[in-house]
């Protein structure tokens, strides 16, 4: 007990001595740079000897929140670790980027490390975000005015992300200024991981709502609307990780989109609402997991009895003159038949879109072609891209309505579209 009392007396005397030195100006304490907390659990602080090196302190970059009000401020704010909050309003990226590109060109790119401008096929300009991790771009969801980002180019995305990780987009409406023919998605991710899209409204024209390519994965889409796109809500190729859509509305697009199956990836839809074309594409698809989803009316295939294992009754279809029916529409392949071997594949992932202006596209898992089409005087439907393909138009009378079918000759194969 006596030893403890002496120790307490020595500590008390030391504290009094330090206090006197501070009052007399002998010791200067700078509280602006360092704050030292002494608690009851750790009352003793050992002084560092002259020979002992000061420990290194990790330089942790703090997250910076920036409020932006125009396109210029948005592009200047893009950097790793940034949280960018956009004021409500209409952001036409093309009006700013095309002017900057015309006056500064590549010089602008050289002065910006994380965001680049890229000229598109039609002379427009798109924005490319590169090598940025931990970036958050947020719209004001509490305002009555939406936060909308658009571009005028038909061949560029509104935003591209290349080699980026941990990207979060929230509360934004995005698309191109005009509907119709378009050759690029609203958002494109290349070699990017851990993407979050929440409360977004992605609309056509884009070709797709978003594209994920070059092993871009772990993409979570929560409470988003993807609507009215040319070819579908998304295009996912070389997938890795998880792609999860939860409480999303996929509606009004001319196709169902595209997903390249992989053993290294999984596609999940939970409590999602599918429009008619999206329903027709995904309802029979076995490459995804569906949990409590809502479907539109499913296209009824010809209700015939299988004949020797064949699900398709050719005799139920009537050949018609393509000059006498309205065929501009989107068609999905029902089956591909090899004319030599007789082998047949049902529900293949092929889309044929014919626009009223005589343009369109052909898309499969491996190929995509812009096409032009016309009807010959004999009623034959001609499809032209790198080569010519010829098609016949059939009608199926079912329960008071007529369904058009198109049979396309593809070398040794025949493809039936409905």
Instruction: List all residues 6 or more positions away from 357 whose beta carbon is below 8 Å from its beta carbon.
Output: none
Instruction: Name the CA dihedral angle for 230, 231, 232, 235, rounded to a multiple of 10 degrees.
Output: -130
The yes/no answer on whether domain 314-417 falls in CATH 1.10.1740 is no
Q: pLDDT tens track of the chain, all 418 residues?
A: 434 444 443 444 444 444 444 444 433 333 333 333 333 333 333 343 444 444 343 333 335 789 999 999 999 999 999 999 999 999 999 999 999 999 999 999 999 999 999 999 888 999 999 999 999 999 988 888 999 999 999 899 999 999 999 999 999 999 999 876 677 999 999 999 999 999 999 998 888 999 999 999 999 999 999 999 988 999 999 999 999 999 999 999 988 899 999 999 999 999 999 998 899 889 888 899 999 999 998 754 433 333 444 455 666 788 888 888 888 888 888 888 876 676 777 778 888 999 989 999 988 877 888 999 998 777 888 898 878 888 888 888 765 567 788 888 877 788 888 8
How many Cβ atoms from other residues are within 10 Å of residue 382's Cβ?
Answer: 15
Give the pLDDT confidence score for residue 62 in this predicted structure.
Answer: 39
Three-state secondary-structure class, residue 316: helix
Three-state secondary-structure class, residue 272: coil
d(CA 157, CA 149): 11
Identify the CATH number of the domain defined by range 64-291: 2.160.20.10
Give the pLDDT confidence score for residue 238 in this predicted structure.
Answer: 94
Three-state secondary-structure class, residue 66: strand
Spacing of C-alpha 236 from chain mean position: 9
Domain range annotation of the chain: 64-291, 314-417
Give the pLDDT confidence score for residue 211 in this predicted structure.
Answer: 96
Give the pLDDT confidence score for residue 313 in this predicted structure.
Answer: 62
Q: Are strands 413-417 and 265-270 parallel, antiparallel or unpaired?
A: unpaired
State if pTM tops 0.85. no
d(CA 30, CA 183): 61
Q: Are strands 413-417 and 401-410 parallel, antiparallel or unpaired?
A: antiparallel
Give the pLDDT confidence score for residue 369 in this predicted structure.
Answer: 86
> What stretches of 106-240 adopt beta strand conformation (E)?
115-119, 125-130, 133-139, 147-151, 159-162, 165-170, 173-176, 187-190, 193-198, 201-203, 208-213, 217-222, 225-227, 232-236
């Amino acid at each position: 007990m006596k030893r403890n009392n002496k120790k307490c007396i020595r500590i008390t005397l030391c504290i009094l001595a330090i206090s006197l030195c501070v009052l007399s100006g002998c010791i200067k304490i700078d509280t602006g740079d360092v704050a030292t907390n002494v608690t009851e659990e750790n009352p003793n602080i050992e002084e560092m000897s002259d020979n002992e090196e000061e420990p290194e302190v990790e330089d942790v970059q703090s997250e910076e929140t920036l409020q932006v009000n125009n396109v210029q401020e948005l592009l200047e704010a893009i950097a790793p670790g940034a949280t960018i909050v956009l004021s409500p309003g209409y952001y036409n990226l093309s009006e700013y980027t095309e002017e900057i590109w015309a006056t500064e060109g590549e010089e602008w790119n050289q002065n910006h490390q994380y965001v680049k401008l890229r000229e598109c096929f039609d002379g427009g300009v798109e924005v490319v975000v590169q090598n940025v991790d931990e970036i958050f771009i947020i719209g004001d969801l509490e305002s009555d005015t939406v936060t909308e980002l658009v571009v005028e180019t038909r061949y560029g995305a509104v935003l591209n992300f290349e080699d980026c990780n941990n990207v979060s987009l929230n509360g934004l409406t995005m698309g191109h200024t005009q509907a119709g023919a378009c050759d690029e998605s609203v958002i494109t991710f290349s070699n990017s991981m851990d993407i979050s899209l929440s409360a977004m409204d992605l609309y056509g024209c884009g070709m797709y709502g978003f594209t994920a390519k070059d092993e871009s994965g772990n993409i979570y889409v929560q409470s988003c609307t993807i609507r009215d796109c040319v070819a579908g809500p998304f295009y996912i190729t070389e997938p890795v990780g998880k792609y999860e859509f939860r409480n999303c509305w996929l509606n009004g697009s001319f196709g169902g989109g595209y997903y390249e199956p992989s053993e290294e990836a999984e596609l999940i839809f939970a409590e999602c609402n599918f429009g008619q074309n999206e329903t027709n594409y995904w309802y029979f698809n076995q490459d995804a997991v569906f949990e409590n989803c809502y479907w539109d009316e499913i296209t009824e295939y010809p209700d015939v009895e299988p004949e020797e294992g064949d699900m398709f009754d050719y005799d139920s279809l009537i050949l018609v003159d393509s000059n006498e029916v309205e065929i501009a529409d989107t068609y999905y392949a029902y089956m591909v038949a090899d004319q030599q071997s007789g082998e047949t594949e049902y529900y293949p992932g092929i889309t044929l879109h014919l626009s009223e202006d005589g343009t369109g596209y052909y898309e499969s898992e491996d190929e995509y072609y812009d096409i032009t089409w016309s009807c010959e005087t004999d009623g034959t439907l001609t499809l032209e891209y790198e080569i010519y393909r010829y098609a016949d138009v059939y009608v199926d009378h079912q329960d008071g309505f007529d369904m058009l079918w198109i049979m396309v000759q593809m070398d040794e194969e025949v493809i039936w579209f409905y």
